[in-house]
Structure 1
Amino acid sequence: MFKTFDHSNYHAICDELASADPDLAQIISKYGYPPLWSRPNTFETLVHIILEQQVSLASALSALNKMKERVQEITPARILLLTDEEFKACYFSRQKTSYSKYLAEAILSEQINLNELEKLPDDVIRAKLTSLKGIGNWTTDVYLMFVLQHADTFPIGDLAAVNALKRLKNLPKETTREGVIAMAEQWAPHRTVASMLLWHFYLSAPRTAKL
Structure 2
Amino acid sequence: MADVLAGVTPVLPGWWKEACEELSKRDEKMAELINVYSHTALTSVQDPFGTLIRSVIGQQISTKAAQTIWRNFAAACPEMTPQRVAKKHRRTLRSCGLSERKIDYILDICRYFLEEKITFELLEGMSEQEIIDCLTSIKGVGRWTAEMFLIFTLGRQNVFPVADLGIIKAIEKLYFSAEELQALDAQQKQIKILKLSENWAPYKTAASWFLWRSLNNSPVRY
Aligned to 1:135: 141
Aligned to 1:39: 45
CA distance in 1 between counterparts of 2:193 and 2:130 reads 24
Q: Secondary structure at the match of 1:184?
A: helix
CA distance in 1 between counterparts of 2:164 and 2:211 reads 11
> Of residues 47, 63, 66 in structure 1, which corresponds to 2:69?
63
Letter in 1 for 2:192: G
Cα offset for 1:181? 2.3
Any gaps of 5 or more consecutive residues in structure 1? 206-211
1:164-183 → structure 2 map (5 Å cutoff): 164-170=170-176, 172=181, 175=186, 176-183=189-196
Range 138-147 or range 152-161, more displaced: 152-161
Letter in 1 for 2:29: D
1:55-204 → structure 2 map (5 Å cutoff): 55-170=61-176, 172=181, 175=186, 176-204=189-217
Cα offset for 1:115? 2.8
C-alpha spacing 1:55/1:39, structure 2 compared with 1 (3 Å)? farther
| Conserved? CA contact 2:50–2:80, under 8 Å | yes
C-alpha spacing 1:61/1:38, structure 2 compared with 1 (3 Å)? farther
Q: TM-score, normalised by structure 1?
A: 0.85
CA distance in 1 between counterparts of 2:212 and 2:31 reads 14
Any gaps of 5 or more consecutive residues in structure 2? 1-10
Letter in 1 for 2:18: A
CA distance in 1 between counterparts of 2:114 and 2:14 reads 35
Detail structure 1 runs of 4+ shifted over 6 Å in the superposition: none
C-alpha spacing 1:188/1:11, structure 2 compared with 1 (3 Å)? same
CA distance in 2 between counterparts of 1:18 and 1:75 reads 41
| Conserved? CA contact 1:151–1:189, under 8 Å | yes
Cα offset for 1:145? 0.7
Letter in 2 for 1:147: T
Aligned to 1:208: none
Letter in 1 for 2:191: E
Q: Secondary structure at the match of 2:138?
A: coil
Aligned to 2:8: none
Supply the RMSD in Å over aligned alpha carbons. Answer: 2.2
Count residues in correspondence.
201
C-alpha spacing 1:46/1:54, structure 2 compared with 1 (3 Å)? same
What per-residue deviation string (whole Å, max 9, x for no partner) do you get for residues 172-203 of structure 1?
27553333223222211111010011111111
Is 1:49 equivalent to 2:49 in the alignment? no
Letter in 1 for 2:134: K
